[in-house]
Chain A
Amino acid sequence: MPNPEQSADIIDLELLRSVEWMQAVECGEDAVIWFDLEEMGLHGWAEVVRVEPCPPIKAGPGRVVLATVTHYNSFLMDLRLAGVSEPLHLTDRHRLFSATRQDWIPASDLRAGEDLATRSGTARIQSVSATPGTQRVFNIEAESEHCFFAGSAEVLSHNTNPCGGAKRGPKTKLQGGPHNEKIEELEGQLGKDETLLAGGGRLPEVLIPTRGGMKSGRRPDLLIRRADGSLRGVNVGRSKADGSPLKREQDALDDLRRAGIDMDFIRYD
């Protein structure tokens, strides 16, 4: 599978998959199937080189590795933890579990002073820095929990979880999802002097940086340009019984507003 970021790089994937999965994505030798590897920032068509019977799986403790992914990456981070001499080398998108934020956080968003979950408890981050150069990187998908302990500090680390053909996010209008139906409805109600720049069910949603927020970037459901050139964003989401946004919707609005975006919230439920 060609790397969309570095055209000379080929990503090698080795997967352990059920016969049902292979039939669903029409996977056979010489077939070309679509992959999204969101955590690694990779997506594209992958050529199936070989299909073989599953090797015998050893009995005993531990999880079965369902996938290995390897390729060259220029976006690498070094994570130094208190009391651990060896830094953790990982890609900027690789997610670790932050005990401070109680969430999976990409390496590029982790901060010094934050606590990470480890097998024995927590470990504090001393520093996070970018690693210069290009290196071969590896990732795995483990069965069941979709996470594993990485490095000598045994930091709780998320899987690569390669999902051929699978997509994340709310159901689209084509799938009968009310979220996207509402977005398209709003897009149809835009004023004469308003121009849809992104989202709205018609165009991809652009990434707006929200440094210092709960997340480092957000994608408003609609980004609209007013006649005077100013911008406004609209997020469509679920609400509580009193009509106010659910916490995750409110977090998104807060992040965008803190970053200076004029945001509206429209409920769809």
Chain B
Amino acid sequence: MTMHKLLVQFYATPHELADFLRELLSLDLTLVTMELSPFLIQLASSKADLEVSRLQKASQVMVFHEPPVTSCENWNQFLDANRDGLFLWMGRLDQQVLSQSWLSAQSTSEQVIKRWRKVANILKRRTSAGVWIASLLNKDAGFYKQFRFTEGALKLFDEGCRIAPPAGNNLVFLRNPSPDC
């Protein structure tokens, strides 16, 4: 049996993330938000629950076709109880640094991933593919088409906001950098 996976790594502003989630709510999907420290799972049943101000504390939003099991004490328990969800890790905009978001799902069922791919395509339509990444150490740079970005993220980049990689210290450019970047 094969494990099927879906992963979209991208950059978006908090407003764009909230807007994307509100569109998912209109597709009759069940959304729950997760806060860390302390761990808290909450059902997001209305568009008001997905306003930027309400999402500020949440680290992740999970999407399900059926209502998930929410009576869990921690994240591991939640993952155990809800295997076939779609997970949105929400990148932050803090002090002029935009961090990466990613949408992911994993299942032994091809059909589950096929259904989530339709949702991922909504995100893909809102984003462009391809960023430039350079090493902080030796300026070696390359193009990564796996990473996507929204118009809002590009606007932030043009205004001088730093774009952070998913982890580590590589430099991210949403436009082709000059050779002496």
Instruction: Tell me the complex Cα distance, A256–B170, Å.
Output: 10
Interface flag for B162 (CB, 8 Å): no
Whether A203 pairs with B87 at a CB distance below 8 angstroms is yes
Closest to B7 in A: A204
Whether B2 pairs with A211 at a CB distance below 8 angstroms is no
Q: Which residues between 137 and 175 of chain B lie within 8 Å of chain A, taking CB atoms?
A: 137-138, 140-147, 165-170, 172
Closest to A227 in B: B37
Selected from B1, B7, B36, B138, the residue in CB contact (under 8 A) with A206 is: B7
Q: Which one of B12-20, B25-33, B45-53, B126-134 is at the interface?
A: B126-134
Hey, which chain B residues are within 8 Å of A7, CB to CB?
121, 124-125
Interface flag for B110 (CB, 8 Å): yes
Hey, which chain A residues are within 8 Å of B96, CB to CB?
none
Instruction: Tell me the complex Cα distance, A69–B176, Å.
Output: 29
Interface flag for B106 (CB, 8 Å): yes
Q: Which residues between 179 and 231 of chain A lie within 8 Å of chain B, taking CB atoms?
A: 187-188, 190, 192-193, 195-198, 202-204, 206-213, 216-217, 223, 225, 227, 231
Whether A204 pairs with B106 at a CB distance below 8 angstroms is yes
Interface flag for B71 (CB, 8 Å): no
Of the candidates B6, B37, B108, B125, the one having the most CB atoms from chain A within 10 angstroms of its own CB is B37
Interface flag for B114 (CB, 8 Å): yes
Closest to A6 in B: B129
Instruction: Tell me the complex Cα distance, A98–B106, Å.
Output: 34
Interface flag for B56 (CB, 8 Å): no
The minimal Cβ–Cβ distance linking A181 to chain B, given in whole angstroms, is 13
Whether B146 pairs with A207 at a CB distance below 8 angstroms is yes
Whether A216 pairs with B142 at a CB distance below 8 angstroms is yes
The proximity string for B residues 59-70 relative to A, scoring 1 for CB distances below 8 Å and 0 otherwise, is 100000000000
Whether B168 pairs with A92 at a CB distance below 8 angstroms is no
Whether A207 pairs with B76 at a CB distance below 8 angstroms is no
Q: Which residues between 15 and 55 of chain A lie within 8 Å of chain B, taking CB atoms?
A: 34, 41, 44-45
Whether A223 pairs with B167 at a CB distance below 8 angstroms is yes
Hey, which chain B residues are within 8 Å of A187, CB to CB?
76
Interface flag for B72 (CB, 8 Å): no
Whether B169 pairs with A259 at a CB distance below 8 angstroms is yes
Interface flag for A167 (CB, 8 Å): yes
Instruction: Tell me the complex Cα distance, A48–B74, Å.
Output: 45
Whether B169 pairs with A260 at a CB distance below 8 angstroms is yes
Instruction: Tell me the complex Cα distance, A92–B145, Å.
Output: 9
Hey, which chain B residues are within 8 Å of A212, CB to CB?
135, 137-138, 140
A195-B165 in contact given A111-B140, A207-B146, A211-B170 (Cβ < 8 Å): no
Hey, which chain B residues are within 8 Å of A197, CB to CB?
89
Contact residues of B with A, CB < 8 Å?
Answer: 1-3, 5-7, 9, 36-37, 59, 74-76, 79, 87, 89, 102, 104-106, 108, 110, 114, 117, 121, 124-125, 129-130, 133-138, 140-147, 165-170, 172, 176
The 10 closest A-B pairs by CB, nearest first: A260-B169, A212-B135, A211-B135, A259-B168, A212-B140, A260-B168, A204-B5, A204-B7, A174-B1, A209-B133
- Residue pairs across A and B with Cβ atoms less than 8 A apart, 16 shown, are A5-B129, A44-B117, A172-B1, A174-B2, A190-B76, A195-B36, A196-B76, A202-B106, A204-B7, A206-B166, A208-B168, A211-B141, A212-B135, A212-B140, A223-B166, A258-B137
